[in-house]
């Protein structure tokens, strides 16, 4: 599979999620436990249902049991990882090249933070990985990145040091540029920048950076 999406059990705006799936046309759709509730609401059949199924209604389980050509993987509820991480590992093991998490944000901040941390699996395995919702796209990078103004996810671009520091940071094409700056953790200096050129560029020498594109 080249491009896959994992639908997790966080908050998903149905209109946004439906439109995103129609536009992106992923090759493979994985529902991680209660992520299948969203897929039921929009009438989308997943390729794989994975989880311990402890947070999904019996009605939804019965709905998908009546459909064919869906793979089921039931996990032991007593486990160390989340259903979403198990889904990420499945996608990695099956050779995905691009992976998106839907339903990875919401009210449960513990799950949100853990889902953001899982973007590091993409760095380790060389997979292009992102979290998207109706207002944000979150990526984790260990090397430079370019963002075209015409295709950026929202009006704002925020940078957060995920490692202790990100060294020799250069920002070009932004309202607030930087030159040879050391971006340290525990600071808000990289929040809410704006792209002013046709293409913005983020360069740095060492470290791990969260790149968050946001719209109100």
* pLDDT tens digits for range 93-102: 999 999 999 9
User: In 98-210, where does DSSP find H-type helix?
Assistant: 109-117, 119-125
pLDDT at 184 over 90: yes
pLDDT at 206 over 80: yes
pLDDT value for 195: 97
pLDDT at 5 over 90: yes
Are 105 and 156 contained in the same domain?
no
pLDDT value for 23: 95
Q: What is the count of structural domains for the chain?
A: 2
Are 153 and 126 contained in the same domain?
no
Q: How is residue 209 written in tokens?
A: 């950076």
pLDDT at 79 over 80: no
- 200: Cβ contacts below 8 Å, ≥ 6 apart: 146, 147, 148, 149, 152, 157, 171, 172, 173, 174
pTM of the model: 0.94
Confidence of residue 76 (pLDDT cuts 50, 70, 90): confident
Confidence of residue 17 (pLDDT cuts 50, 70, 90): very high
Q: How is residue 23 written in tokens?
A: 């536009």
pLDDT value for 216: 84
Are 40 and 96 contained in the same domain?
yes
Average pLDDT over residues 3-7: 98
What CATH number is attached to the domain comprising 9? 3.40.50.10240
Kindly state the percentage of the chain with pLDDT values over 90. Answer: 94
Of 17, 19, 22, residue with least CA distance to 6 = 17
Are 86 and 155 contained in the same domain?
no
pLDDT at 46 over 90: yes
Of 43, 42, 36, residue with least CA distance to 71 = 36
Other beta carbons less than 10 A from residue 184's beta carbon: 15
Are 114 and 173 contained in the same domain?
no
Are 128 and 175 contained in the same domain?
no
pLDDT at 78 over 80: no
Is 76 or 23 the better-scoring residue by pLDDT? 23
pLDDT at 86 over 80: yes
Are 125 and 152 contained in the same domain?
no
Give the domain-ending residue among 133, 153, 187.
133
What CATH number is attached to the domain comprising 150? 2.60.120.320
Give the domain-ending residue among 71, 102, 133.
133
pLDDT value for 77: 78
Give the domain-ending residue among 133, 161, 177.
133
Other beta carbons less than 10 A from residue 12's beta carbon: 25
Q: Which domain holds residue 82?
A: 3-133
Segment 121-169, tens digit of pLDDT: 999 999 999 999 999 999 999 999 999 999 999 999 999 999 999 999 9
pLDDT value for 178: 95
Segment 107-117, tens digit of pLDDT: 999 999 999 99
pLDDT at 80 over 90: no
């Amino acid at each position: 599979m080249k491009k896959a999406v994992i639908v997790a059990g966080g908050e998903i705006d149905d209109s946004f999620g439906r439109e995103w799936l129609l536009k992106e046309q992923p090759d493979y759709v994985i529902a991680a436990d209660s992520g299948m509730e969203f897929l039921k609401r929009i009438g989308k059949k997943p390729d794989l249902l994975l989880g311990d199924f402890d947070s999904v209604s019996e009605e939804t389980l019965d709905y998908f049991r009546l459909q064919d050509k869906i793979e089921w993987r039931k996990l032991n509820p007593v486990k160390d990882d989340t259903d979403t991480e198990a889904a990420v590992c499945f996608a990695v093991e099956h050779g995905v090249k691009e992976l998106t998490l839907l339903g990875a944000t919401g009210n449960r901040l513990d799950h949100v933070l853990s889902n953001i941390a899982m973007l590091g699996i993409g760095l380790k395995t060389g997979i292009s990985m992102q979290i998207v919702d109706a207002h944000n796209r979150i990526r984790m990078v260990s090397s430079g990145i370019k963002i075209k103004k015409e295709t950026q996810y929202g009006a704002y671009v925020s940078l957060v040091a995920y490692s202790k520091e990100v060294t020799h940071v250069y920002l070009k094409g932004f309202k607030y540029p930087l030159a040879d700056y050391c971006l340290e953790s525990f600071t808000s200096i990289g929040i809410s920048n704006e792209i002013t050129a046709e293409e913005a560029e983020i360069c740095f020498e060492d470290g791990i950076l969260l790149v968050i594109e946001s719209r109100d």
